[in-house]
Structure 1
Protein backbone atom coordinates (compact mmCIF):
# COMPACT_ATOMS: atom_id res chain seq x y z
CA UNK A 1 0.00 0.00 0.00
CA UNK A 2 1.61 3.23 -1.15
CA UNK A 3 -0.16 5.53 1.30
CA UNK A 4 -2.43 5.52 4.30
CA UNK A 5 -6.19 5.50 3.63
CA UNK A 6 -8.09 8.69 4.35
CA UNK A 7 -9.45 9.18 7.84
CA UNK A 8 -12.82 10.20 6.36
CA UNK A 9 -13.12 6.85 4.61
CA UNK A 10 -12.09 4.96 7.75
CA UNK A 11 -14.68 6.85 9.80
CA UNK A 12 -17.41 5.96 7.30
CA UNK A 13 -16.25 2.33 7.31
CA UNK A 14 -16.46 2.16 11.12
CA UNK A 15 -20.03 3.48 11.17
CA UNK A 16 -21.12 1.15 8.38
CA UNK A 17 -19.51 -1.83 10.15
CA UNK A 18 -21.15 -0.99 13.46
CA UNK A 19 -24.62 -0.55 11.97
CA UNK A 20 -24.21 -3.23 9.29
CA UNK A 21 -26.26 -0.86 7.17
CA UNK A 22 -25.13 1.91 4.83
CA UNK A 23 -28.35 3.91 5.22
CA UNK A 24 -28.13 3.99 9.03
CA UNK A 25 -24.45 4.91 8.83
CA UNK A 26 -25.33 7.75 6.47
CA UNK A 27 -27.94 9.04 8.94
CA UNK A 28 -25.43 9.05 11.82
CA UNK A 29 -22.79 10.84 9.78
CA UNK A 30 -25.10 13.32 8.07
CA UNK A 31 -24.29 11.93 4.63
CA UNK A 32 -26.23 10.35 1.82
CA UNK A 33 -26.29 6.57 1.36
CA UNK A 34 -24.55 7.06 -1.98
CA UNK A 35 -21.71 8.98 -0.30
CA UNK A 36 -21.24 6.17 2.22
CA UNK A 37 -21.08 3.61 -0.57
CA UNK A 38 -18.53 5.75 -2.40
CA UNK A 39 -16.27 6.07 0.65
CA UNK A 40 -16.42 2.31 1.29
CA UNK A 41 -15.54 1.53 -2.36
CA UNK A 42 -12.69 4.06 -2.17
CA UNK A 43 -11.33 2.40 0.97
CA UNK A 44 -11.58 -1.03 -0.57
CA UNK A 45 -9.58 0.21 -3.57
CA UNK A 46 -6.95 1.79 -1.31
CA UNK A 47 -6.58 -1.35 0.81
CA UNK A 48 -6.94 -3.80 -2.03
CA UNK A 49 -9.37 -6.02 -0.10
CA UNK A 50 -13.10 -6.49 0.10
CA UNK A 51 -14.58 -5.11 3.30
CA UNK A 52 -18.28 -5.98 3.13
CA UNK A 53 -20.50 -8.69 1.76
CA UNK A 54 -23.73 -7.11 0.56
CA UNK A 55 -26.85 -8.92 1.69
CA UNK A 56 -30.48 -8.03 1.47
CA UNK A 57 -31.19 -5.10 3.81
CA UNK A 58 -27.74 -5.19 5.43
CA UNK A 59 -24.02 -5.50 4.88
CA UNK A 60 -21.74 -7.96 6.65
CA UNK A 61 -18.05 -7.58 7.38
CA UNK A 62 -15.65 -9.91 5.68
CA UNK A 63 -13.33 -11.81 8.04
CA UNK A 64 -10.40 -9.71 6.82
CA UNK A 65 -12.21 -6.46 7.74
CA UNK A 66 -13.40 -7.49 11.21
CA UNK A 67 -10.14 -6.65 12.99
CA UNK A 68 -9.96 -3.24 11.30
CA UNK A 69 -13.54 -2.48 12.39
CA UNK A 70 -12.80 -3.38 16.02
CA UNK A 71 -9.63 -1.27 15.97
CA UNK A 72 -11.43 1.73 14.44
CA UNK A 73 -14.29 1.55 16.95
CA UNK A 74 -11.79 1.52 19.82
CA UNK A 75 -9.71 4.32 18.32
CA UNK A 76 -12.71 6.59 17.71
CA UNK A 77 -13.95 5.87 21.22
CA UNK A 78 -10.57 6.90 22.64
CA UNK A 79 -10.60 10.09 20.61
CA UNK A 80 -14.11 10.94 21.79
CA UNK A 81 -13.12 10.27 25.41
CA UNK A 82 -10.03 12.48 25.10
CA UNK A 83 -12.09 15.32 23.62
CA UNK A 84 -14.67 14.91 26.39
CA UNK A 85 -11.96 15.05 29.06
CA UNK A 86 -10.52 18.18 27.45
CA UNK A 87 -13.95 19.82 27.38
CA UNK A 88 -14.66 18.83 30.98
CA UNK A 89 -11.29 20.17 32.13
CA UNK A 90 -11.98 23.47 30.38
CA UNK A 91 -15.42 23.67 31.97
CA UNK A 92 -14.00 23.01 35.43
CA UNK A 93 -11.39 25.81 35.31
CA UNK A 94 -12.61 29.42 35.37
CA UNK A 95 -9.97 32.16 35.24
CA UNK A 96 -11.20 35.66 36.12
CA UNK A 97 -9.14 38.85 35.83
CA UNK A 98 -9.77 41.43 38.53
CA UNK A 99 -8.08 44.54 39.91
CA UNK A 100 -6.35 44.20 43.26
CA UNK A 101 -8.80 46.54 45.00
CA UNK A 102 -11.90 44.79 43.67
CA UNK A 103 -10.42 41.37 44.38
CA UNK A 104 -9.44 42.13 47.98
CA UNK A 105 -12.40 44.29 48.99
CA UNK A 106 -15.34 42.79 47.10
CA UNK A 107 -14.78 39.52 45.26
CA UNK A 108 -12.48 37.46 47.48
CA UNK A 109 -14.64 37.76 50.63
CA UNK A 110 -17.59 36.36 48.66
CA UNK A 111 -15.89 33.51 46.83
CA UNK A 112 -16.67 30.96 49.53
CA UNK A 113 -20.35 31.27 48.67
CA UNK A 114 -19.68 30.60 45.01
CA UNK A 115 -17.52 27.58 45.81
CA UNK A 116 -20.27 26.20 48.06
CA UNK A 117 -22.76 26.71 45.24
CA UNK A 118 -20.54 25.34 42.44
CA UNK A 119 -17.82 23.07 43.91
CA UNK A 120 -17.33 21.60 40.42
CA UNK A 121 -15.81 24.87 39.12
CA UNK A 122 -12.14 25.56 39.85
CA UNK A 123 -12.14 29.36 40.12
CA UNK A 124 -8.80 31.14 39.75
CA UNK A 125 -8.22 34.87 40.12
CA UNK A 126 -5.77 36.70 37.89
CA UNK A 127 -5.20 39.76 40.08
CA UNK A 128 -3.90 42.62 37.98
CA UNK A 129 -4.69 46.29 37.53
CA UNK A 130 -3.85 45.96 33.82
CA UNK A 131 -6.66 45.33 31.35
CA UNK A 132 -6.86 41.70 30.28
CA UNK A 133 -6.51 40.66 26.63
CA UNK A 134 -8.35 37.40 27.49
CA UNK A 135 -5.44 35.17 26.55
CA UNK A 136 -5.59 32.53 29.26
CA UNK A 137 -8.44 34.41 30.95
CA UNK A 138 -12.14 33.57 30.62
CA UNK A 139 -13.69 36.75 31.96
CA UNK A 140 -12.91 39.94 33.86
CA UNK A 141 -14.37 42.35 36.38
CA UNK A 142 -13.79 45.92 35.25
CA UNK A 143 -14.61 49.27 36.78
CA UNK A 144 -15.32 51.65 33.93
CA UNK A 145 -17.96 53.96 32.51
CA UNK A 146 -18.44 52.04 29.27
CA UNK A 147 -16.86 48.63 28.56
CA UNK A 148 -14.70 48.20 25.49
CA UNK A 149 -16.46 47.38 22.23
CA UNK A 150 -16.46 43.77 21.14
CA UNK A 151 -17.11 42.37 24.62
CA UNK A 152 -20.20 40.97 26.24
CA UNK A 153 -20.83 43.19 29.29
CA UNK A 154 -23.11 42.72 32.29
CA UNK A 155 -23.50 45.74 34.61
CA UNK A 156 -23.26 44.64 38.23
CA UNK A 157 -23.44 47.86 40.25
CA UNK A 158 -22.82 51.59 40.17
CA UNK A 159 -19.64 52.88 41.77
CA UNK A 160 -20.11 55.65 44.34
CA UNK A 161 -17.54 57.56 46.38
CA UNK A 162 -17.84 59.17 49.79
CA UNK A 163 -15.38 60.53 52.37
CA UNK A 164 -14.37 58.04 55.08
CA UNK A 165 -12.04 58.26 58.05
CA UNK A 166 -11.45 56.79 61.47
CA UNK A 167 -13.97 57.81 64.16
CA UNK A 168 -11.13 59.35 66.16
CA UNK A 169 -10.11 61.64 63.31
CA UNK A 170 -13.72 62.65 62.65
CA UNK A 171 -14.05 63.61 66.30
CA UNK A 172 -10.69 65.38 66.50
CA UNK A 173 -11.42 67.64 63.51
CA UNK A 174 -15.12 68.03 64.41
CA UNK A 175 -16.16 67.24 60.84
CA UNK A 176 -19.78 68.27 60.43
CA UNK A 177 -19.98 69.86 56.98
CA UNK A 178 -18.23 69.56 53.62
CA UNK A 179 -16.32 72.77 54.31
CA UNK A 180 -14.78 71.21 57.43
CA UNK A 181 -12.90 68.74 55.21
CA UNK A 182 -10.82 71.60 53.83
CA UNK A 183 -9.03 71.77 57.16
CA UNK A 184 -8.40 68.02 57.42
CA UNK A 185 -5.63 65.93 55.83
CA UNK A 186 -6.99 64.46 52.61
CA UNK A 187 -5.49 61.17 51.45
CA UNK A 188 -4.66 61.21 47.71
CA UNK A 189 -5.90 64.78 47.43
CA UNK A 190 -5.17 64.82 43.69
CA UNK A 191 -7.68 62.01 43.08
CA UNK A 192 -10.27 63.31 40.62
CA UNK A 193 -12.99 61.95 42.87
CA UNK A 194 -12.08 64.55 45.50
CA UNK A 195 -12.42 67.37 43.01
CA UNK A 196 -15.77 66.00 41.81
CA UNK A 197 -17.04 65.42 45.35
CA UNK A 198 -16.22 68.96 46.49
CA UNK A 199 -17.73 70.39 43.30
CA UNK A 200 -20.89 68.39 44.02
CA UNK A 201 -20.91 70.00 47.49
CA UNK A 202 -20.48 73.46 45.97
CA UNK A 203 -16.88 73.91 47.15
CA UNK A 204 -13.74 74.61 45.16
CA UNK A 205 -11.04 72.19 46.21
CA UNK A 206 -8.33 74.61 45.14
CA UNK A 207 -8.61 76.33 48.50
CA UNK A 208 -7.60 73.18 50.33
CA UNK A 209 -3.98 72.85 51.50
CA UNK A 210 -1.61 70.90 49.30
CA UNK A 211 0.58 68.03 50.44
CA UNK A 212 -0.47 64.96 52.40
CA UNK A 213 -0.37 61.26 51.65
CA UNK A 214 -0.75 60.03 48.08
CA UNK A 215 -1.39 56.32 47.58
CA UNK A 216 -1.84 54.18 44.49
CA UNK A 217 -4.83 52.02 45.40
CA UNK A 218 -8.09 52.25 47.28
CA UNK A 219 -6.99 49.38 49.52
CA UNK A 220 -3.97 51.42 50.66
CA UNK A 221 -6.07 54.58 51.01
CA UNK A 222 -8.67 52.86 53.15
CA UNK A 223 -6.01 51.26 55.33
CA UNK A 224 -4.38 54.66 55.88
CA UNK A 225 -7.76 56.16 56.74
CA UNK A 226 -8.41 53.45 59.34
CA UNK A 227 -5.02 54.22 60.86
CA UNK A 228 -6.09 57.85 61.34
CA UNK A 229 -3.80 59.36 58.72
CA UNK A 230 -6.51 61.36 57.00
CA UNK A 231 -9.80 61.27 55.14
CA UNK A 232 -9.99 59.06 52.04
CA UNK A 233 -12.63 59.09 49.34
CA UNK A 234 -13.74 55.50 49.03
CA UNK A 235 -16.43 53.28 47.54
CA UNK A 236 -18.85 52.35 50.34
CA UNK A 237 -19.80 49.04 48.68
CA UNK A 238 -16.19 47.92 49.13
CA UNK A 239 -15.85 48.98 52.77
CA UNK A 240 -19.12 47.73 54.24
CA UNK A 241 -17.38 45.46 56.77
CA UNK A 242 -15.20 48.28 58.11
CA UNK A 243 -18.16 50.65 58.28
CA UNK A 244 -20.26 48.07 60.12
CA UNK A 245 -17.45 47.36 62.60
CA UNK A 246 -16.86 51.06 63.26
CA UNK A 247 -13.28 51.06 61.97
CA UNK A 248 -14.38 53.63 59.40
CA UNK A 249 -17.10 56.26 59.51
CA UNK A 250 -18.66 58.49 56.89
CA UNK A 251 -18.41 62.01 58.36
CA UNK A 252 -20.37 63.63 55.51
CA UNK A 253 -22.97 61.33 53.97
CA UNK A 254 -22.95 62.90 50.52
CA UNK A 255 -22.27 60.08 48.01
CA UNK A 256 -20.78 60.97 44.65
CA UNK A 257 -22.02 59.15 41.56
CA UNK A 258 -18.69 58.61 39.81
CA UNK A 259 -20.31 57.71 36.50
CA UNK A 260 -18.51 54.37 36.63
CA UNK A 261 -19.85 50.88 37.20
CA UNK A 262 -18.56 47.43 37.96
CA UNK A 263 -18.97 45.19 34.91
CA UNK A 264 -18.61 41.51 34.21
CA UNK A 265 -17.08 41.22 30.73
CA UNK A 266 -16.01 38.39 28.47
CA UNK A 267 -15.59 37.77 24.74
CA UNK A 268 -18.95 37.39 23.01
CA UNK A 269 -18.10 33.94 21.72
CA UNK A 270 -17.59 32.62 25.27
CA UNK A 271 -20.64 34.13 26.97
CA UNK A 272 -22.73 30.96 26.52
CA UNK A 273 -20.22 28.68 28.25
CA UNK A 274 -22.01 27.10 31.24
CA UNK A 275 -19.29 28.11 33.70
CA UNK A 276 -19.47 31.76 32.60
CA UNK A 277 -23.25 31.83 32.72
CA UNK A 278 -23.16 30.39 36.25
CA UNK A 279 -20.53 32.86 37.46
CA UNK A 280 -22.23 35.88 35.87
CA UNK A 281 -25.59 34.95 37.40
CA UNK A 282 -23.97 34.54 40.83
CA UNK A 283 -22.18 37.89 40.55
CA UNK A 284 -25.43 39.59 39.65
CA UNK A 285 -27.10 38.20 42.77
CA UNK A 286 -24.17 39.21 44.96
CA UNK A 287 -24.18 42.74 43.61
CA UNK A 288 -27.89 42.96 44.38
Structure 2
Protein backbone atom coordinates (compact mmCIF):
# COMPACT_ATOMS: atom_id res chain seq x y z
CA UNK A 1 0.00 0.00 0.00
CA UNK A 2 1.37 3.40 -1.02
CA UNK A 3 1.44 5.91 1.83
CA UNK A 4 -0.10 9.26 0.88
CA UNK A 5 2.44 11.75 2.19
CA UNK A 6 -0.06 14.61 2.19
CA UNK A 7 -1.80 12.86 5.12
CA UNK A 8 1.38 12.64 7.19
CA UNK A 9 2.04 15.59 9.51
CA UNK A 10 5.60 16.08 10.71
CA UNK A 11 6.63 14.13 13.79
CA UNK A 12 7.39 17.35 15.68
CA UNK A 13 3.73 18.34 15.38
CA UNK A 14 2.61 14.89 16.46
CA UNK A 15 4.94 14.84 19.47
CA UNK A 16 3.58 18.19 20.64
CA UNK A 17 0.01 17.04 20.11
CA UNK A 18 0.45 13.68 21.91
CA UNK A 19 2.07 15.32 24.93
CA UNK A 20 -0.54 18.09 25.05
CA UNK A 21 -3.35 15.55 24.77
CA UNK A 22 -1.89 13.43 27.57
CA UNK A 23 -1.36 16.38 29.91
CA UNK A 24 -4.37 18.43 28.75
CA UNK A 25 -1.94 21.33 28.92
CA UNK A 26 0.31 23.09 26.41
CA UNK A 27 2.55 24.28 29.25
CA UNK A 28 3.10 20.80 30.69
CA UNK A 29 3.74 19.45 27.21
CA UNK A 30 6.32 22.18 26.62
CA UNK A 31 8.11 21.27 29.86
CA UNK A 32 8.23 17.61 28.86
CA UNK A 33 9.49 18.30 25.34
CA UNK A 34 11.91 21.06 26.42
CA UNK A 35 10.11 23.61 24.23
CA UNK A 36 8.44 26.91 24.92
CA UNK A 37 4.71 27.06 25.48
CA UNK A 38 4.34 29.25 22.41
CA UNK A 39 6.22 26.69 20.27
CA UNK A 40 3.84 23.92 21.35
CA UNK A 41 0.86 26.18 20.71
CA UNK A 42 2.15 26.91 17.18
CA UNK A 43 2.60 23.18 16.56
CA UNK A 44 -0.98 22.49 17.60
CA UNK A 45 -2.28 25.29 15.37
CA UNK A 46 -0.24 23.97 12.45
CA UNK A 47 -1.60 20.46 12.99
CA UNK A 48 -5.17 21.71 13.22
CA UNK A 49 -4.62 23.64 9.99
CA UNK A 50 -3.30 20.48 8.36
CA UNK A 51 -6.35 18.51 9.55
CA UNK A 52 -8.87 21.24 8.81
CA UNK A 53 -10.47 21.08 12.26
CA UNK A 54 -9.76 21.95 15.87
CA UNK A 55 -8.27 19.35 18.20
CA UNK A 56 -8.65 21.32 21.43
CA UNK A 57 -11.28 23.55 22.95
CA UNK A 58 -9.62 26.65 24.40
CA UNK A 59 -11.38 27.93 27.51
CA UNK A 60 -9.71 30.83 29.32
CA UNK A 61 -6.40 29.43 30.60
CA UNK A 62 -7.26 25.75 29.99
CA UNK A 63 -7.50 23.44 27.00
CA UNK A 64 -9.33 20.16 26.55
CA UNK A 65 -9.61 17.76 23.65
CA UNK A 66 -12.60 17.73 21.37
CA UNK A 67 -14.28 14.37 20.91
CA UNK A 68 -12.60 13.96 17.54
CA UNK A 69 -9.35 15.06 19.16
CA UNK A 70 -9.63 12.27 21.76
CA UNK A 71 -10.00 9.65 19.03
CA UNK A 72 -7.12 11.13 17.04
CA UNK A 73 -4.91 11.20 20.15
CA UNK A 74 -5.46 7.47 20.79
CA UNK A 75 -4.55 6.61 17.20
CA UNK A 76 -1.49 8.86 17.14
CA UNK A 77 -0.25 7.52 20.48
CA UNK A 78 -0.44 3.94 19.21
CA UNK A 79 1.27 4.90 15.94
CA UNK A 80 4.13 6.57 17.81
CA UNK A 81 4.46 3.49 20.03
CA UNK A 82 4.73 1.29 16.94
CA UNK A 83 7.41 3.54 15.43
CA UNK A 84 9.34 3.52 18.71
CA UNK A 85 9.08 -0.28 19.00
CA UNK A 86 10.20 -0.77 15.40
CA UNK A 87 13.19 1.52 15.93
CA UNK A 88 14.16 -0.27 19.14
CA UNK A 89 13.87 -3.66 17.42
CA UNK A 90 16.07 -2.47 14.54
CA UNK A 91 18.72 -1.11 16.89
CA UNK A 92 18.68 -4.37 18.86
CA UNK A 93 19.36 -6.42 15.72
CA UNK A 94 20.32 -4.35 12.64
CA UNK A 95 20.98 -7.53 10.66
CA UNK A 96 17.29 -8.45 10.82
CA UNK A 97 15.64 -11.56 12.20
CA UNK A 98 13.55 -9.87 14.89
CA UNK A 99 10.46 -11.60 16.31
CA UNK A 100 7.84 -9.84 18.42
CA UNK A 101 6.12 -12.56 20.44
CA UNK A 102 3.07 -12.21 22.67
CA UNK A 103 3.09 -14.45 25.74
CA UNK A 104 1.25 -14.83 29.04
CA UNK A 105 3.35 -13.49 31.96
CA UNK A 106 3.86 -16.66 34.00
CA UNK A 107 4.40 -18.85 30.95
CA UNK A 108 6.96 -16.34 29.74
CA UNK A 109 8.91 -16.05 32.98
CA UNK A 110 8.81 -19.66 34.21
CA UNK A 111 8.82 -21.73 31.03
CA UNK A 112 9.81 -19.78 27.91
CA UNK A 113 12.50 -17.36 29.08
CA UNK A 114 14.80 -20.01 30.62
CA UNK A 115 14.67 -21.90 27.31
CA UNK A 116 15.31 -18.85 25.14
CA UNK A 117 18.99 -18.95 26.09
CA UNK A 118 19.36 -22.11 23.99
CA UNK A 119 17.58 -20.52 21.05
CA UNK A 120 19.73 -17.40 21.29
CA UNK A 121 22.87 -19.53 21.36
CA UNK A 122 21.78 -21.59 18.36
CA UNK A 123 20.50 -18.58 16.40
CA UNK A 124 22.42 -15.44 17.42
CA UNK A 125 21.14 -13.60 14.34
CA UNK A 126 17.53 -13.74 15.58
CA UNK A 127 16.27 -11.52 18.39
CA UNK A 128 13.05 -12.42 20.21
CA UNK A 129 11.16 -9.62 21.97
CA UNK A 130 8.57 -10.77 24.50
CA UNK A 131 5.36 -8.80 25.02
CA UNK A 132 3.25 -9.95 27.97
CA UNK A 133 -0.50 -9.53 28.29
CA UNK A 134 -3.17 -10.87 30.61
CA UNK A 135 -5.87 -10.08 28.07
CA UNK A 136 -6.22 -11.87 24.71
CA UNK A 137 -3.79 -10.65 22.08
CA UNK A 138 -5.05 -8.58 19.17
CA UNK A 139 -2.91 -8.79 16.05
CA UNK A 140 -4.71 -5.79 14.58
CA UNK A 141 -3.72 -3.58 17.51
CA UNK A 142 -0.49 -5.14 18.82
CA UNK A 143 2.75 -5.08 16.76
CA UNK A 144 3.19 -8.85 17.08
CA UNK A 145 4.54 -11.43 14.65
CA UNK A 146 3.10 -14.31 16.68
CA UNK A 147 1.79 -15.26 20.11
CA UNK A 148 1.53 -18.24 22.42
CA UNK A 149 -2.18 -18.67 23.01
CA UNK A 150 -3.87 -20.67 25.76
CA UNK A 151 -7.40 -21.69 24.95
CA UNK A 152 -9.40 -23.57 22.37
CA UNK A 153 -8.12 -23.70 18.77
CA UNK A 154 -10.40 -20.86 17.72
CA UNK A 155 -8.84 -17.69 16.33
CA UNK A 156 -10.38 -16.31 13.11
CA UNK A 157 -7.80 -15.04 10.65
CA UNK A 158 -4.90 -16.80 12.38
CA UNK A 159 -2.89 -19.99 11.90
CA UNK A 160 -2.65 -22.15 15.04
CA UNK A 161 -0.09 -24.86 15.74
CA UNK A 162 -0.55 -27.05 18.83
CA UNK A 163 2.36 -26.80 21.26
CA UNK A 164 1.28 -28.80 24.30
CA UNK A 165 -1.70 -29.78 26.43
CA UNK A 166 -2.04 -28.75 30.06
CA UNK A 167 -2.29 -31.03 33.09
CA UNK A 168 -3.53 -29.29 36.24
CA UNK A 169 -2.42 -30.67 39.62
CA UNK A 170 -3.33 -29.81 43.22
CA UNK A 171 -0.35 -28.66 45.27
CA UNK A 172 0.50 -27.04 48.57
CA UNK A 173 3.55 -26.56 50.80
CA UNK A 174 4.68 -29.49 52.98
CA UNK A 175 4.06 -27.47 56.13
CA UNK A 176 0.52 -26.62 55.06
CA UNK A 177 -0.20 -30.28 54.29
CA UNK A 178 1.09 -31.30 57.74
CA UNK A 179 -1.07 -28.68 59.43
CA UNK A 180 -4.24 -29.63 57.54
CA UNK A 181 -3.67 -33.42 57.73
CA UNK A 182 -5.26 -34.13 54.36
CA UNK A 183 -6.34 -37.71 53.74
CA UNK A 184 -9.12 -37.35 51.18
CA UNK A 185 -10.28 -34.98 48.45
CA UNK A 186 -13.16 -33.89 50.70
CA UNK A 187 -10.64 -32.57 53.21
CA UNK A 188 -9.63 -29.85 50.74
CA UNK A 189 -13.02 -28.21 51.29
CA UNK A 190 -11.82 -27.14 54.75
CA UNK A 191 -8.70 -25.42 53.38
CA UNK A 192 -8.19 -22.02 51.74
CA UNK A 193 -8.24 -22.57 47.98
CA UNK A 194 -6.24 -20.21 45.76
CA UNK A 195 -8.24 -19.05 42.73
CA UNK A 196 -7.15 -17.63 39.37
CA UNK A 197 -9.38 -14.80 38.14
CA UNK A 198 -9.30 -15.99 34.53
CA UNK A 199 -10.33 -19.52 35.57
CA UNK A 200 -13.07 -18.95 38.15
CA UNK A 201 -14.59 -22.44 37.80
CA UNK A 202 -11.36 -24.44 37.99
CA UNK A 203 -11.82 -25.72 41.54
CA UNK A 204 -15.46 -26.53 40.96
CA UNK A 205 -14.52 -28.59 37.89
CA UNK A 206 -11.78 -30.39 39.81
CA UNK A 207 -14.11 -31.40 42.63
CA UNK A 208 -16.64 -32.65 40.06
CA UNK A 209 -13.98 -34.95 38.59
CA UNK A 210 -13.37 -36.30 42.11
CA UNK A 211 -17.12 -36.88 42.68
CA UNK A 212 -17.08 -34.41 45.56
CA UNK A 213 -20.00 -32.05 46.12
CA UNK A 214 -18.51 -28.58 46.63
CA UNK A 215 -21.01 -25.99 47.85
CA UNK A 216 -18.64 -23.37 49.26
CA UNK A 217 -15.15 -22.83 47.88
CA UNK A 218 -13.40 -20.11 49.86
CA UNK A 219 -10.02 -18.52 49.26
CA UNK A 220 -8.29 -15.48 47.72
CA UNK A 221 -8.28 -14.47 44.06
CA UNK A 222 -5.12 -13.83 42.01
CA UNK A 223 -4.73 -12.58 38.45
CA UNK A 224 -1.54 -14.53 37.63
CA UNK A 225 -0.26 -18.04 38.26
CA UNK A 226 3.05 -16.56 39.44
CA UNK A 227 1.29 -15.01 42.46
CA UNK A 228 -0.54 -18.26 43.22
CA UNK A 229 2.72 -20.22 43.12
CA UNK A 230 4.38 -17.87 45.61
CA UNK A 231 1.30 -17.93 47.86
CA UNK A 232 1.24 -21.74 47.83
CA UNK A 233 4.97 -21.90 48.60
CA UNK A 234 4.37 -19.79 51.71
CA UNK A 235 1.50 -21.90 52.97
CA UNK A 236 -1.44 -19.70 51.99
CA UNK A 237 -3.53 -22.62 50.79
CA UNK A 238 -3.98 -25.26 48.09
CA UNK A 239 -3.52 -24.37 44.44
CA UNK A 240 -4.49 -25.77 41.06
CA UNK A 241 -1.45 -25.17 38.85
CA UNK A 242 -0.27 -26.50 35.48
CA UNK A 243 2.34 -29.12 36.33
CA UNK A 244 4.91 -27.86 33.80
CA UNK A 245 5.06 -24.45 35.52
CA UNK A 246 6.19 -25.88 38.87
CA UNK A 247 8.52 -28.72 37.92
CA UNK A 248 11.42 -27.23 39.89
CA UNK A 249 9.35 -26.75 43.06
CA UNK A 250 7.98 -30.28 42.84
CA UNK A 251 11.47 -31.71 42.30
CA UNK A 252 12.84 -29.73 45.24
CA UNK A 253 9.93 -30.68 47.49
CA UNK A 254 9.00 -27.07 48.27
CA UNK A 255 5.60 -27.88 46.80
CA UNK A 256 4.03 -31.31 47.10
CA UNK A 257 1.46 -32.79 44.78
CA UNK A 258 -1.73 -34.04 46.41
CA UNK A 259 -1.99 -37.09 44.24
CA UNK A 260 -5.31 -37.52 42.58
CA UNK A 261 -5.64 -37.88 38.81
CA UNK A 262 -4.48 -34.60 37.20
CA UNK A 263 -7.11 -32.55 35.43
CA UNK A 264 -6.44 -32.37 31.69
CA UNK A 265 -7.65 -29.00 30.44
CA UNK A 266 -9.87 -28.82 27.39
CA UNK A 267 -7.80 -25.82 26.35
CA UNK A 268 -4.16 -26.11 25.31
CA UNK A 269 -1.19 -23.98 24.29
CA UNK A 270 -0.88 -22.96 20.64
CA UNK A 271 1.61 -21.03 18.56
CA UNK A 272 -0.47 -18.47 16.69
CA UNK A 273 0.43 -16.11 13.88
CA UNK A 274 -1.75 -13.73 11.85
CA UNK A 275 -2.71 -14.74 8.32
CA UNK A 276 -2.59 -11.14 7.16
CA UNK A 277 1.06 -11.44 6.18
CA UNK A 278 3.49 -14.21 5.32
CA UNK A 279 5.52 -15.59 8.20
CA UNK A 280 9.20 -14.70 7.96
CA UNK A 281 11.91 -17.35 7.93
CA UNK A 282 12.76 -16.31 11.52
CA UNK A 283 9.20 -16.88 12.70
CA UNK A 284 9.00 -20.26 10.97
CA UNK A 285 12.31 -21.32 12.51
CA UNK A 286 11.23 -20.19 15.97
CA UNK A 287 7.91 -22.03 15.64
CA UNK A 288 9.71 -25.31 14.86
CA UNK A 289 12.13 -24.81 17.73
CA UNK A 290 9.31 -24.00 20.15
CA UNK A 291 7.39 -27.11 19.08
CA UNK A 292 10.46 -29.25 19.81
CA UNK A 293 10.81 -27.67 23.26
CA UNK A 294 7.15 -28.38 23.99
CA UNK A 295 7.48 -32.02 22.91
CA UNK A 296 10.58 -32.45 25.09
CA UNK A 297 8.78 -30.85 28.03
CA UNK A 298 5.96 -33.42 27.79
CA UNK A 299 8.10 -36.51 27.14
CA UNK A 300 11.09 -36.11 29.45
CA UNK A 301 11.11 -38.32 32.56
CA UNK A 302 9.40 -36.68 35.53
CA UNK A 303 11.64 -36.28 38.57
CA UNK A 304 9.25 -34.65 41.01
CA UNK A 305 8.01 -37.98 42.41
CA UNK A 306 11.44 -38.50 43.93
CA UNK A 307 10.32 -36.20 46.74
CA UNK A 308 7.32 -36.28 49.01
CA UNK A 309 3.82 -36.59 47.60
CA UNK A 310 0.49 -37.08 49.35
CA UNK A 311 -2.06 -39.60 48.11
CA UNK A 312 -5.68 -38.59 48.48
CA UNK A 313 -8.49 -41.12 48.37
Aligned to 1:221: 228
Summarize the Cα distance change of 1:158–1:115 in structure 2 as closer, same or farther, 3 Å threshold. same
Summarize the Cα distance change of 1:274–1:179 in structure 2 as closer, same or farther, 3 Å threshold. same
Superposed displacement of residue 181, structure 1: 0.8
Aligned to 1:136: 143
Q: Deviations over 1:63-112 (max 9, x none)?
A: xxxxxxxxxxxxxxxxxxxxxx9xx9584211101111211221112111
Q: Deviations over 1:195-250 (max 9, x none)?
A: 110000001221x453x322111111111000001001110011111111111111
Aligned partner (choices 176, 179, 193) of residue 169 of structure 1: 176
Aligned mates of 1:99, 1:121 — CA distance in 2:
21
Aligned partner (choices 210, 221, 231) of residue 201 of structure 1: 210
Structure 2: which 5+ residue stretches go unaligned? Answer: 1-89, 296-313
Counterparts in 2 of 1:1-150, with a 5 A limit?
A: 89=94, 91-134=96-139, 135-150=142-157
Aligned mates of 1:264, 1:91 — CA distance in 2:
22
Superposed displacement of residue 146, structure 1: 2.1
Answer whether contact 1:186 1:213 (CA < 8 A) is retained: yes
Answer whether contact 2:152 2:268 (CA < 8 A) is retained: yes
Aligned mates of 1:218, 1:261 — CA distance in 2:
16
Aligned to 2:275: 268
Answer whether contact 1:91 1:275 (CA < 8 A) is retained: no
Superposed displacement of residue 171, structure 1: 1.9
Summarize the Cα distance change of 1:198–1:267 in structure 2 as closer, same or farther, 3 Å threshold. same
Summarize the Cα distance change of 1:198–1:232 in structure 2 as closer, same or farther, 3 Å threshold. same
TM-score of the two chains, using structure 1 as the length reference: 0.65
Aligned partner (choices 245, 250, 255) of residue 243 of structure 1: 250
Point out the structure with max Rg over C-alpha.
Answer: 1
Summarize the Cα distance change of 1:197–1:173 in structure 2 as closer, same or farther, 3 Å threshold. same
Aligned mates of 1:271, 1:223 — CA distance in 2:
40
Aligned partner (choices 225, 240, 248) of residue 233 of structure 1: 240
Aligned mates of 1:273, 1:189 — CA distance in 2:
36
Aligned to 1:58: none
Superposed displacement of residue 269, structure 1: 4.8
Answer whether contact 1:161 1:256 (CA < 8 A) is retained: yes
Aligned mates of 2:101, 2:168 — CA distance in 1:
25
How many residues align structurally?
Answer: 201
TM-score of the two chains, using structure 2 as the length reference: 0.60
Cα RMSD, aligned residues only = 2.2
